[in-house]
Amino acid sequence: MNRTRTLRLTSMAAVMSIIVIGAAGSTGMGSLSAFGVEDISAICPLGYLEAALAGRDVIPQLLVSFLVVAGLTALLGRIFCGWVCPIPLVRKLLINKIDEGQTDGENNSDRNSSTQPVFKESEATRVTYPQAGNDLRKSSPTGLIILGVTLGSSAICGFPVFCLICPIGLVFATLFALLRLIRFNEPTMDIIVFPVIVIIELVFLKKWCSKLCPVGALLSIFSRFNHSLAPTVDRSRCLEEAHNTKCQLCRSACSFDIDLKNGLGMGDISTCTKCRECADNCPVQAIRFPWR
């Protein structure tokens, strides 16, 4: 496992540990789905929209947290998905993959020219530039559709329907159920039902994060405005452009199929989670982020 993946898993594990330790000590702040400290309360942005539509109420106190999350995502991009959300960590435990696009046991030191993915000639050699304003067109239509269904079902049913099956919430609900079992000897069906739902979503719905997750789809709308922290390609070092060699390792490593050079992939830069898989898999270190 490369250094970036280790750092990401450590970051996710640290967030989960803080929440679980707080719950175990009865001083918890909640979870990533809903949390608060004294008079300050917040809820996940999708949860807020669901609650607002279900209750036909703006909920001013929670609106502030919604706007804060939207602003941070516009500034930092979908960094939550790549560094905070517990789902990649759970996926690593279940199927030994932190990201959907990752190939087991691969890193840039294991690659050579014989294993480089080869795309069609027109895709590998054509030099164009991503056009601004195409974010929604290139965002996963399935994710946006599920986002619409999620919000519509909440408005119709009068309660946040998706929250019942959200894998982020279910991961923490499972941990809290285990805590109750250990501390108070209170076994519940939650310990069985919640993990089963999470396994179905992550193991059988293999493209959950990149294609299906409505939380990610919502954050991608906010991150359309993020440009300062986007990865860039040093074209003077890129194998394809500087050495006329077919490569596309960066694109193949991306779970969202983002093509940083030519914009030919299905994913748009707004879906970038700052996971650095593209940079870590580039054999000539031609991809750079604003931070090292």
| Tens-digit pLDDT string for the chain (292 aa) | 688 999 999 999 999 999 999 888 877 678 999 887 777 788 999 999 999 999 999 989 899 999 999 999 999 999 999 999 999 999 999 988 888 765 544 444 344 443 444 444 433 333 333 444 444 445 568 889 999 999 999 999 999 999 999 999 999 999 999 999 998 898 889 999 999 999 999 999 989 999 999 999 999 999 999 877 889 999 899 998 888 888 889 999 999 999 998 877 888 899 999 999 999 999 999 999 987 6
**Other residues' Cβ atoms within 10 Å of the Cβ of residue 189:** 8
- Distance (Å, whole) CA 152 – CA 280: 40
Q: Which tokens belong to 195?
A: 């993990």
Which H or E run contains 34? strand 34-37
Q: Which tokens belong to 174?
A: 């499972």
Q: Return the amino acid letter for 143.
A: G
**Other residues' Cβ atoms within 10 Å of the Cβ of residue 215:** 26
Taking the alpha carbons of 250, 256, 257, 262 in that order, is the dihedral positive or negative? negative
pLDDT at 199: 94
User: What region, left, alpha or beta, does residue 5 occupy, with left being phi > 0 and alpha being psi -120 to 50 degrees?
Assistant: alpha
pTM for this predicted structure? 0.83
* CB 130 within 8 Å of CB 269: yes
What are the two backbone dihedrals, phi and then psi, of residue 258, each rounded to the nearest 5 degrees?
-90, 125
CB within 8 Å of 134: residues ≥ 6 apart = 263, 268
- Distance (Å, whole) CA 245 – CA 124: 9
* CB 15 within 8 Å of CB 32: yes
Q: Which tokens belong to 16?
A: 């989960």
DSSP per position, 251-289: HHH-TT-B-TTT--SSB-GGG-----HHHHH-TT--EE-
Which of 215, 121, 127 lies closest to 166 in space, CA to CA? 215
